[in-house]
Amino acid sequence: MGMSLSLVCSQALQLRQNLECSLEQSLAIKQVLKLELKLYKKREDICTRLYKDALKKGNVRQYDGHGMKFEFALASKKDVPAWIYEQCGHAFSHCLMREWDCLLGGEKFAMARGSWLLFVIRDMYKEMPAKTLEYAAVHERGEMVTLGDHNLASKLEFAIAAEEKNLRWYMDWIEKQCPEKFADVFSYQTHLVLSASDEFQQILEVFQESEEARQVRRLIEEFDWPYTILQRLSKYKKANEEIASILNIAFDKARIFASHAASPLPETVEKIRQEIRDGLRAISESGLKRFISLTRINELWNIGRAELNDEFIKTRVRREEMLNENDYIKEVINANLSGGLPLDNELSPEFKKVIKLIR
């Protein structure tokens, strides 16, 4: 009887712990969703203001060609928050979604039924011919029709340039003015077709009556890269493979130092920094910075930085067990630590900040 009662109490305790864990996870998810919604509303307020300003100044243009007809706003770089163009480049869009549609069919369904505001920053680069503004606007229209698929929208953008016999000229302009976009292009070669998932196909039914949607789909599916441009893209691809190799070696060496619990924490952090610095210097000295694909290298950086941080945290725990409290606290202060590794300069979790350190 006592054993049975003990078992019941143990099960009840386990159930309570599971419920508490589920509650904590639920609260954490709600906090993340609340933050995402807050950021989305902030972006919506900014985009709405920018569009109204463009209307007042006569800076709303109409695109009419290749079966597409839509409006887009021209904005000045000084009026657009840096966090938007640093994330999106010289063109961006925003979907005004109805809350009821989100509740009824989810985010993609709401995007299909929402109203889109399209923008191109007209003075983002020194030279921005009219056609570059149009192609950027087409990209944002592609984001709308493909429900936010950046890769397919890029394919539409280049398909239009090819239809107008401007693809080579446009790729030259991109490589000169915004090489980071050119560097990302090679990744689109592995993402060439519209999704065949049931969810995507059901959502596309919203556009079934639209001739524009059918035309956009045809352009995306029929576009192929010319061989000469594929050769140029191949050059960028090989360069990024070399960059990835350099960074992987740097992270491997840094993890070795991160695992040394025998060394003082400030010394360990400095050795980790030096290995990452050496990797960034190797990229610079090899002349590879201009080829960096943020899409690919940012993903590699996120994984490498996280694994390095995990290893360091384990070492920090072992270090704490080895030292008395005062000596451990002194090391933590001298190493400028809070949780894991420091977040500044070459140890930043954001590769967009790290890339600025590469000369």
Q: What is the DSSP string of 278-332?
A: HHHHHHHHTT-GGG--HHHHHHHHHHHHHHHHHHHHHHHHHHHHHS-HHHHHHHH
- Look-up of token digits 């993402």: 191
What Å distances lie between residue 131 and 67, 91, 135, 137, 217, CA to CA? 17, 13, 6, 10, 22
pLDDT beyond 80 at 166:
yes
Question: Does some domain include residue 17?
Answer: no
| H helix or E strand, kind and range, residue 68 | strand 68-75
Q: 128 falls in which pLDDT band (50, 70, 90)?
A: very high
- pTM (2 d.p.): 0.70
Contact between residue 319 and residue 275 where contact means Cβ atoms under 8 Å apart? no
pLDDT value at residue 224: 82
Judgement on whether residues 42 and 191 belong to the same structural domain of the protein: yes
If DSSP codes are grouped into helix, strand and coil, which group holds residue 344?
Answer: coil
Does residue 214 sit in the same domain as residue 300? no
CA-CA distance, 61 to 124, in Å (whole number)? 17
Residue 10 lies in a domain: no
Q: Which residues pair with 290 in a beta bridge?
A: none
| Residues 220 and 241 placed together within one structural domain of the fold | no
| Cβ–Cβ < 8 Å for 37, 131 | no
Residue 254 located in a structural domain: yes
**C-beta separation of 193 from 217 below 8 A:** no
- Quick check: is 20 in a domain? no
Asked whether residue 190 is assigned to any structural domain, the reply reads: yes
Where is the domain boundary, 161, 193, 225? 225
Residue given tokens 């979604």 in the structure block: 97
Which range of residues forms the domain containing residue 216? 28-225
Least-confidence region, from 38-52, 137-151, 260-274:
137-151
Q: Are residues 206 and 342 in the same domain?
A: no
Cα dihedral value 238, 239, 242, 244, nearest 10: -100
Clarify whether residues 307 and 350 are in a common domain: yes
CA distance 229 to 240: 17
Say yes or no: 206 and 92 in one domain: yes
Amino acid (one-letter) located at 125 = Y
- Whether 72 shows a pLDDT value over 60: the answer reads yes
Residue 85 shares a structural domain with residue 117 = yes
Long-range contacts of 95-98 (CB under 8 A, 24+ apart): 95/144, 95/148, 96/44, 96/48
Vertex 169: Cα angle to 163 and 175 (nearest 5): 120
Q: Are residues 84 and 154 in the same domain?
A: yes
**Closest to 312 measured CA to CA, from 351, 281, 352, 343:** 343
Q: How many domains does the chain have?
A: 2
Same domain, 190 and 244: no
Residue 194 to residue 303: CA distance in whole angstroms: 28
- Of 190, 225, 260, the position where a domain reaches its end is 225
For all residues of the chain together, what is the average pLDDT? 82
Contact 140, 92 (CB under 8 A): yes
Give the residue from 225, 245, 264 where a domain finishes: 225
Specify whether 306 is located in the same domain as 217.
no
The whole-angstrom distance between residue 345's C-alpha and the CA centroid of its chain comes to 20
Q: Is residue 14 part of a domain?
A: no
Q: Both 251 and 187 in a single domain?
A: no
106 vs 108: CA distance, rounded Å: 6
What tens digit of pLDDT does each residue of 188-225 get?
A: 554 444 455 555 555 555 554 567 777 887 888 888 88
Give pLDDT tens digits for 176-185.
Answer: 888 777 777 7
* Residue 340 included in any domain: yes
Q: Does one domain contain both 203 and 317?
A: no
CA pair distance 181, 294, nearest whole angstrom: 9
pLDDT in tens, 80-125: 999 899 888 899 999 888 777 676 667 777 777 788 999 999 999 9
Contacts within 8 Å (CB) and 24+ apart, 114-118: 116/140, 116/144, 117/47, 117/48, 117/50, 117/51, 117/73, 117/93, 118/70, 118/71, 118/72, 118/73, 118/91, 118/93, 118/144
